[in-house]
Protein backbone atom coordinates (compact mmCIF):
# COMPACT_ATOMS: atom_id res chain seq x y z
CA UNK A 1 0.00 0.00 0.00
CA UNK A 2 1.43 3.36 -1.03
CA UNK A 3 -1.36 5.89 -0.74
CA UNK A 4 -0.55 9.57 -0.70
CA UNK A 5 -0.98 11.24 2.70
CA UNK A 6 -2.34 8.09 4.33
CA UNK A 7 -1.99 7.33 8.03
CA UNK A 8 -0.95 3.87 6.83
CA UNK A 9 -1.63 0.60 8.61
CA UNK A 10 -3.58 1.12 11.84
CA UNK A 11 -4.72 -0.96 14.78
CA UNK A 12 -7.84 -0.76 16.92
CA UNK A 13 -7.52 -0.60 20.69
CA UNK A 14 -9.92 -1.43 23.51
CA UNK A 15 -10.51 0.85 26.48
CA UNK A 16 -11.84 -1.11 29.44
CA UNK A 17 -13.68 1.28 31.73
CA UNK A 18 -14.15 0.09 35.31
CA UNK A 19 -16.09 3.19 36.35
CA UNK A 20 -19.82 2.58 36.50
CA UNK A 21 -22.06 4.53 34.14
CA UNK A 22 -25.69 5.28 34.88
CA UNK A 23 -27.50 5.54 31.57
CA UNK A 24 -30.32 7.97 30.85
CA UNK A 25 -32.75 5.03 30.82
CA UNK A 26 -31.83 4.28 34.46
CA UNK A 27 -29.75 1.16 33.86
CA UNK A 28 -26.34 1.03 35.54
CA UNK A 29 -23.41 -0.39 33.59
CA UNK A 30 -20.77 -1.41 36.11
CA UNK A 31 -18.14 -1.71 33.41
CA UNK A 32 -17.92 -1.47 29.63
CA UNK A 33 -15.48 -1.42 26.74
CA UNK A 34 -14.97 1.10 23.94
CA UNK A 35 -13.13 0.32 20.71
CA UNK A 36 -11.05 3.24 19.48
CA UNK A 37 -8.23 4.29 17.16
CA UNK A 38 -5.80 7.18 17.27
CA UNK A 39 -3.79 8.90 14.54
CA UNK A 40 -0.93 11.33 14.97
CA UNK A 41 0.78 12.10 18.27
CA UNK A 42 -0.45 13.81 21.42
CA UNK A 43 1.86 16.75 22.05
CA UNK A 44 3.58 17.46 25.36
CA UNK A 45 0.90 19.98 26.36
CA UNK A 46 -1.84 17.48 25.51
CA UNK A 47 -3.76 20.24 23.75
CA UNK A 48 -3.88 19.03 20.13
CA UNK A 49 -6.50 16.27 20.45
CA UNK A 50 -9.56 16.15 18.20
CA UNK A 51 -12.34 13.65 18.90
CA UNK A 52 -14.24 12.52 15.81
CA UNK A 53 -17.75 11.20 16.49
CA UNK A 54 -19.31 8.83 14.00
CA UNK A 55 -22.76 8.84 12.42
CA UNK A 56 -25.44 6.15 12.35
CA UNK A 57 -23.61 3.44 10.44
CA UNK A 58 -20.05 4.57 11.20
CA UNK A 59 -17.49 3.35 13.68
CA UNK A 60 -14.07 4.16 15.13
CA UNK A 61 -12.14 3.25 11.96
CA UNK A 62 -11.72 6.73 10.52
CA UNK A 63 -8.62 6.43 8.37
CA UNK A 64 -5.93 4.08 7.11
CA UNK A 65 -6.24 0.33 6.66
CA UNK A 66 -5.84 -2.66 8.92
CA UNK A 67 -3.75 -4.46 6.31
CA UNK A 68 -2.38 -3.78 2.84
CA UNK A 69 -5.02 -6.13 1.43
CA UNK A 70 -7.98 -4.15 2.80
CA UNK A 71 -10.22 -3.05 -0.05
CA UNK A 72 -11.26 0.23 1.56
CA UNK A 73 -9.70 2.65 4.06
CA UNK A 74 -11.48 4.14 7.08
CA UNK A 75 -14.72 5.97 6.36
CA UNK A 76 -13.26 9.52 6.64
CA UNK A 77 -9.87 8.81 5.12
CA UNK A 78 -10.30 11.66 2.64
CA UNK A 79 -10.33 14.14 5.52
CA UNK A 80 -7.86 12.69 8.02
CA UNK A 81 -4.14 12.10 7.49
CA UNK A 82 -0.79 13.80 6.95
CA UNK A 83 -1.29 17.12 5.12
CA UNK A 84 -5.03 16.51 4.78
CA UNK A 85 -7.56 19.00 6.19
CA UNK A 86 -7.43 17.32 9.62
CA UNK A 87 -3.65 17.02 9.56
CA UNK A 88 -2.28 14.17 11.67
CA UNK A 89 1.15 15.78 11.57
CA UNK A 90 -0.35 18.44 13.83
CA UNK A 91 -3.37 16.91 15.53
CA UNK A 92 -3.90 13.82 17.65
CA UNK A 93 -7.12 12.39 16.20
CA UNK A 94 -9.33 9.99 18.14
CA UNK A 95 -12.08 7.81 16.71
CA UNK A 96 -14.33 5.85 19.06
CA UNK A 97 -17.08 3.31 18.45
CA UNK A 98 -20.07 4.42 20.47
CA UNK A 99 -21.40 2.38 23.35
CA UNK A 100 -23.77 -0.14 21.80
CA UNK A 101 -22.09 0.41 18.43
CA UNK A 102 -21.39 -3.20 17.56
CA UNK A 103 -17.82 -2.77 16.25
CA UNK A 104 -15.86 -3.75 19.34
CA UNK A 105 -17.56 -1.59 21.96
CA UNK A 106 -19.91 -3.10 24.51
CA UNK A 107 -23.27 -3.63 22.88
CA UNK A 108 -26.08 -6.09 22.17
CA UNK A 109 -23.65 -8.67 20.72
CA UNK A 110 -21.38 -8.50 23.79
CA UNK A 111 -21.50 -10.98 26.62
CA UNK A 112 -23.58 -9.85 29.57
CA UNK A 113 -21.32 -10.45 32.61
CA UNK A 114 -24.33 -11.51 34.69
CA UNK A 115 -25.76 -14.13 32.33
CA UNK A 116 -22.56 -15.07 30.43
CA UNK A 117 -24.68 -14.85 27.25
CA UNK A 118 -25.06 -12.11 24.62
CA UNK A 119 -27.04 -9.11 25.86
CA UNK A 120 -29.41 -9.24 22.89
CA UNK A 121 -32.77 -7.65 23.67
CA UNK A 122 -31.64 -6.96 27.24
CA UNK A 123 -29.03 -4.40 26.18
CA UNK A 124 -30.37 -1.03 27.32
CA UNK A 125 -31.36 1.88 25.11
CA UNK A 126 -28.51 4.40 25.01
CA UNK A 127 -28.57 8.13 24.31
CA UNK A 128 -26.17 10.69 22.91
CA UNK A 129 -25.55 11.91 26.46
CA UNK A 130 -24.59 8.35 27.43
CA UNK A 131 -22.12 8.34 24.54
CA UNK A 132 -20.49 11.63 25.49
CA UNK A 133 -20.25 10.47 29.10
CA UNK A 134 -18.45 7.29 28.07
CA UNK A 135 -16.28 9.17 25.56
CA UNK A 136 -15.24 11.51 28.36
CA UNK A 137 -13.95 8.51 30.32
CA UNK A 138 -11.80 7.53 27.34
CA UNK A 139 -10.49 11.07 26.91
CA UNK A 140 -9.48 11.16 30.59
CA UNK A 141 -7.81 7.76 30.24
CA UNK A 142 -5.74 9.15 27.35
CA UNK A 143 -4.49 11.96 29.59
CA UNK A 144 -6.41 14.75 27.90
CA UNK A 145 -8.04 17.39 30.09
CA UNK A 146 -9.32 19.58 27.27
CA UNK A 147 -10.03 18.71 23.65
CA UNK A 148 -8.90 21.04 20.91
CA UNK A 149 -12.06 20.05 19.10
CA UNK A 150 -14.95 17.64 18.71
CA UNK A 151 -15.93 16.96 15.11
CA UNK A 152 -18.88 15.09 13.70
CA UNK A 153 -21.30 14.85 10.80
CA UNK A 154 -25.01 14.01 11.10
CA UNK A 155 -25.43 12.00 14.33
CA UNK A 156 -21.77 12.77 15.01
CA UNK A 157 -22.54 16.48 14.85
CA UNK A 158 -25.21 16.03 17.50
CA UNK A 159 -22.55 14.49 19.74
CA UNK A 160 -20.33 17.54 19.18
CA UNK A 161 -23.23 19.75 20.30
CA UNK A 162 -23.78 17.58 23.38
CA UNK A 163 -20.08 17.77 24.26
CA UNK A 164 -20.22 21.58 24.23
CA UNK A 165 -23.28 21.55 26.53
CA UNK A 166 -22.25 18.74 28.87
CA UNK A 167 -18.54 19.51 29.17
CA UNK A 168 -18.10 23.25 28.45
CA UNK A 169 -14.72 23.32 30.20
CA UNK A 170 -13.34 20.38 28.23
CA UNK A 171 -13.80 21.46 24.63
CA UNK A 172 -12.37 24.43 22.72
CA UNK A 173 -14.08 23.94 19.37
CA UNK A 174 -17.15 22.11 18.09
CA UNK A 175 -17.30 21.32 14.38
CA UNK A 176 -20.90 20.39 13.53
CA UNK A 177 -21.59 19.19 9.99
CA UNK A 178 -24.95 18.34 8.39
CA UNK A 179 -26.66 18.07 11.76
CA UNK A 180 -29.64 19.47 13.66
CA UNK A 181 -30.55 20.37 17.24
CA UNK A 182 -33.17 17.59 17.17
CA UNK A 183 -35.07 15.44 14.69
CA UNK A 184 -38.19 16.58 12.87
CA UNK A 185 -41.31 14.43 12.96
CA UNK A 186 -40.53 13.31 9.41
CA UNK A 187 -37.06 12.09 10.43
CA UNK A 188 -38.46 10.21 13.42
CA UNK A 189 -41.00 8.65 11.05
CA UNK A 190 -38.25 7.41 8.71
CA UNK A 191 -36.46 5.85 11.67
CA UNK A 192 -39.62 4.12 12.89
CA UNK A 193 -40.31 2.60 9.47
CA UNK A 194 -36.73 1.29 9.43
CA UNK A 195 -37.12 -0.20 12.91
CA UNK A 196 -40.43 -1.81 12.01
CA UNK A 197 -38.81 -3.46 8.99
CA UNK A 198 -36.33 -5.07 11.39
CA UNK A 199 -38.58 -6.04 14.32
CA UNK A 200 -41.20 -7.61 12.04
CA UNK A 201 -38.58 -9.80 10.34
CA UNK A 202 -39.35 -13.36 11.44
CA UNK A 203 -35.67 -13.90 12.29
CA UNK A 204 -35.55 -10.99 14.73
CA UNK A 205 -36.93 -13.08 17.61
CA UNK A 206 -37.55 -9.98 19.75
CA UNK A 207 -33.85 -9.13 19.55
CA UNK A 208 -32.57 -12.51 20.74
CA UNK A 209 -31.53 -13.94 17.39
CA UNK A 210 -27.86 -14.62 18.26
CA UNK A 211 -28.68 -17.87 20.07
CA UNK A 212 -30.55 -19.10 17.00
CA UNK A 213 -27.60 -18.50 14.70
CA UNK A 214 -29.66 -16.25 12.42
CA UNK A 215 -29.84 -12.54 11.63
CA UNK A 216 -32.84 -10.47 10.49
CA UNK A 217 -31.20 -9.70 7.16
CA UNK A 218 -34.43 -9.01 5.28
CA UNK A 219 -35.54 -6.32 7.71
CA UNK A 220 -32.07 -4.81 8.01
CA UNK A 221 -31.58 -4.56 4.25
CA UNK A 222 -34.97 -2.84 3.84
CA UNK A 223 -34.06 -0.42 6.64
CA UNK A 224 -30.81 0.40 4.88
CA UNK A 225 -32.49 0.82 1.51
CA UNK A 226 -34.91 3.30 3.04
CA UNK A 227 -32.05 5.14 4.71
CA UNK A 228 -30.11 5.42 1.45
CA UNK A 229 -33.06 7.04 -0.27
CA UNK A 230 -33.09 9.76 2.40
CA UNK A 231 -29.31 10.28 2.30
CA UNK A 232 -29.31 11.10 -1.42
CA UNK A 233 -30.92 14.02 -3.21
CA UNK A 234 -33.39 13.63 -6.06
CA UNK A 235 -30.89 15.42 -8.33
CA UNK A 236 -28.01 13.06 -7.61
CA UNK A 237 -30.22 9.99 -8.02
CA UNK A 238 -31.38 11.39 -11.33
CA UNK A 239 -27.82 12.06 -12.46
CA UNK A 240 -26.51 8.65 -11.42
CA UNK A 241 -29.44 6.46 -12.37
CA UNK A 242 -32.32 8.34 -13.98
CA UNK A 243 -34.61 5.76 -15.55
CA UNK A 244 -31.77 3.53 -16.75
CA UNK A 245 -32.69 -0.14 -16.96
CA UNK A 246 -30.64 -3.31 -16.74
CA UNK A 247 -32.01 -4.56 -20.06
CA UNK A 248 -32.84 -2.85 -23.34
CA UNK A 249 -36.50 -3.76 -23.04
CA UNK A 250 -38.82 -4.12 -20.08
CA UNK A 251 -39.12 -7.70 -18.85
CA UNK A 252 -42.62 -7.27 -17.39
CA UNK A 253 -41.98 -9.40 -14.30
CA UNK A 254 -41.24 -8.91 -10.60
CA UNK A 255 -37.46 -8.94 -11.01
CA UNK A 256 -35.27 -5.86 -10.74
CA UNK A 257 -35.65 -3.68 -13.83
CA UNK A 258 -34.11 -0.30 -13.01
CA UNK A 259 -30.52 0.48 -12.06
CA UNK A 260 -31.64 2.42 -8.98
CA UNK A 261 -33.30 -0.78 -7.79
CA UNK A 262 -30.05 -2.72 -8.29
CA UNK A 263 -28.12 -0.06 -6.39
CA UNK A 264 -30.48 -0.12 -3.41
CA UNK A 265 -30.51 -3.91 -3.33
CA UNK A 266 -26.69 -3.96 -3.38
CA UNK A 267 -26.45 -1.43 -0.55
CA UNK A 268 -29.04 -3.33 1.49
CA UNK A 269 -27.31 -6.68 1.03
CA UNK A 270 -23.89 -5.25 1.87
CA UNK A 271 -25.13 -3.53 5.01
CA UNK A 272 -27.05 -6.57 6.27
CA UNK A 273 -23.84 -8.62 6.18
CA UNK A 274 -21.81 -6.14 8.24
CA UNK A 275 -24.17 -4.41 10.67
CA UNK A 276 -26.02 -5.66 13.73
CA UNK A 277 -29.79 -5.15 13.76
CA UNK A 278 -30.02 -4.50 17.51
CA UNK A 279 -27.33 -1.86 17.15
CA UNK A 280 -29.18 -0.20 14.26
CA UNK A 281 -32.34 0.03 16.35
CA UNK A 282 -30.47 1.63 19.26
CA UNK A 283 -28.62 4.08 17.04
CA UNK A 284 -31.87 5.32 15.52
CA UNK A 285 -33.43 5.59 18.98
CA UNK A 286 -30.51 7.75 20.14
CA UNK A 287 -31.17 10.03 17.17
CA UNK A 288 -34.86 10.28 18.06
CA UNK A 289 -34.27 11.06 21.73
CA UNK A 290 -31.67 13.79 21.20
CA UNK A 291 -33.22 17.13 22.07
CA UNK A 292 -31.32 19.64 24.24
CA UNK A 293 -34.53 21.69 24.55
CA UNK A 294 -36.32 18.75 26.20
CA UNK A 295 -39.31 18.89 23.89
CA UNK A 296 -39.24 22.68 23.58
CA UNK A 297 -39.60 23.09 27.33
CA UNK A 298 -36.47 25.24 27.07
CA UNK A 299 -35.31 27.50 24.29
CA UNK A 300 -32.18 26.36 22.48
CA UNK A 301 -30.50 29.69 23.22
CA UNK A 302 -31.10 29.12 26.96
CA UNK A 303 -29.56 25.62 26.74
CA UNK A 304 -26.51 27.09 25.00
CA UNK A 305 -25.96 29.73 27.66
CA UNK A 306 -23.08 27.91 29.40
CA UNK A 307 -21.24 26.90 26.22
CA UNK A 308 -17.65 28.15 26.07
CA UNK A 309 -16.39 26.58 22.84
CA UNK A 310 -16.20 28.18 19.43
CA UNK A 311 -18.22 26.62 16.60
CA UNK A 312 -17.98 25.83 12.93
CA UNK A 313 -21.35 24.85 11.46
CA UNK A 314 -21.55 23.44 7.93
CA UNK A 315 -24.65 22.51 5.93
CA UNK A 316 -25.29 21.43 2.33
CA UNK A 317 -27.86 22.92 -0.01
CA UNK A 318 -29.24 19.56 -1.21
CA UNK A 319 -29.44 17.93 2.23
CA UNK A 320 -33.17 17.63 2.84
CA UNK A 321 -32.87 15.30 5.82
CA UNK A 322 -30.78 17.78 7.85
CA UNK A 323 -31.43 20.95 5.90
CA UNK A 324 -29.50 24.23 6.13
CA UNK A 325 -32.53 25.65 7.97
CA UNK A 326 -31.81 23.31 10.90
CA UNK A 327 -28.15 24.34 10.99
CA UNK A 328 -29.19 27.97 11.08
CA UNK A 329 -31.26 27.25 14.19
CA UNK A 330 -28.02 26.23 15.90
CA UNK A 331 -26.21 29.31 14.58
CA UNK A 332 -28.95 31.64 15.86
CA UNK A 333 -28.94 30.10 19.34
CA UNK A 334 -25.16 30.50 19.50
CA UNK A 335 -25.31 34.12 18.34
CA UNK A 336 -28.01 34.83 20.91
CA UNK A 337 -25.31 34.04 23.48
CA UNK A 338 -22.50 35.90 21.70
CA UNK A 339 -20.70 32.61 21.12
CA UNK A 340 -18.11 32.61 18.34
CA UNK A 341 -19.54 30.75 15.35
CA UNK A 342 -18.59 30.42 11.68
CA UNK A 343 -21.20 29.13 9.24
CA UNK A 344 -20.84 27.74 5.73
CA UNK A 345 -23.56 26.50 3.42
CA UNK A 346 -21.96 24.39 0.71
CA UNK A 347 -23.56 24.14 -2.73
CA UNK A 348 -23.68 20.39 -3.28
CA UNK A 349 -25.88 17.90 -5.13
CA UNK A 350 -25.16 14.79 -3.05
CA UNK A 351 -27.79 15.28 -0.36
CA UNK A 352 -27.08 14.32 3.24
CA UNK A 353 -24.14 12.13 2.16
CA UNK A 354 -22.31 15.27 1.00
CA UNK A 355 -20.57 15.47 4.38
CA UNK A 356 -18.62 12.33 3.43
CA UNK A 357 -17.57 13.60 0.01
CA UNK A 358 -14.22 15.12 -0.98
CA UNK A 359 -15.62 18.45 -2.17
CA UNK A 360 -12.77 20.95 -2.55
CA UNK A 361 -14.61 23.95 -1.10
CA UNK A 362 -15.87 21.88 1.83
CA UNK A 363 -12.42 20.54 2.66
CA UNK A 364 -10.84 23.98 2.24
CA UNK A 365 -13.24 25.42 4.82
CA UNK A 366 -12.49 22.62 7.26
CA UNK A 367 -8.74 22.91 6.66
CA UNK A 368 -8.81 26.65 7.29
CA UNK A 369 -10.73 26.19 10.52
CA UNK A 370 -8.34 23.51 11.78
CA UNK A 371 -5.41 25.85 11.05
CA UNK A 372 -7.23 28.56 12.99
CA UNK A 373 -7.57 26.13 15.90
CA UNK A 374 -3.80 25.63 15.93
CA UNK A 375 -3.22 29.37 15.96
CA UNK A 376 -5.64 29.89 18.85
CA UNK A 377 -3.62 27.84 21.35
Q: Point out the residues that are catalytic.
A: 154, 319, 352
Which residues have CB under 8 Å from 133's CB, separation 6+?
21, 166
Contact, 138 vs 37, CB < 8 A? no
Quote the crossing angle between the two packed helices 217-231 and 277-289, to the nearest 10°: 40
Rounded Cα gap, residues 220 and 241, in angstroms: 23
SS3 state of residue 168: coil
Q: For the beta carbon of residue 263, count every other beta carbon within 10 angstroms.
A: 17
Strands 28-29 and 21-22: antiparallel
Strand order in the sheet with 49-53: 13-17, 32-39, 92-96, 49-53, 149-153, 173-177, 310-316, 341-346
Rounded Cα gap, residues 179 and 3, in angstroms: 31
Q: Residue 153, Cα to own-chain centre: how many angstroms? A: 6
Which residues have CB under 8 Å from 191's CB, separation 6+?
183, 284, 285, 287, 288
Rounded Cα gap, residues 281 and 199, in angstroms: 9
Rounded Cα gap, residues 229 and 241, in angstroms: 13
Rounded Cα gap, residues 177 and 286, in angstroms: 18
List Cβ<8 Å contacts ≥24 apart for 340-345: 340/310, 340/311, 341/310, 341/311, 341/312, 341/313, 342/310, 342/311, 342/312, 342/313, 342/369, 343/312, 343/313, 343/314, 343/315, 344/312, 344/313, 344/314, 344/315, 345/314, 345/315, 345/316, 345/317
- Measured at the CA of 149, the angle between CA 148 and CA 150, to 5 degrees, comes to 150
Amino acid sequence: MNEKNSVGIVKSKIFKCKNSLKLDCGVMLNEYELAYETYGKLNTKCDNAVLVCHALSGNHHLAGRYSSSDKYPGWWDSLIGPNKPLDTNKFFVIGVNNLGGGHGSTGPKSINPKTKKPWGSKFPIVTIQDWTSSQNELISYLGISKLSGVLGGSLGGMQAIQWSIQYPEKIKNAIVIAAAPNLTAQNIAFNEVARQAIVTDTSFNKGDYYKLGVTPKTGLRIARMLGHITYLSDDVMGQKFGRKTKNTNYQYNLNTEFEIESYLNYQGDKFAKDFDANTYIRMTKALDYFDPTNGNKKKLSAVFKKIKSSFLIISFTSDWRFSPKRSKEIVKALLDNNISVSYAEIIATSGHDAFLMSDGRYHDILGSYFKKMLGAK
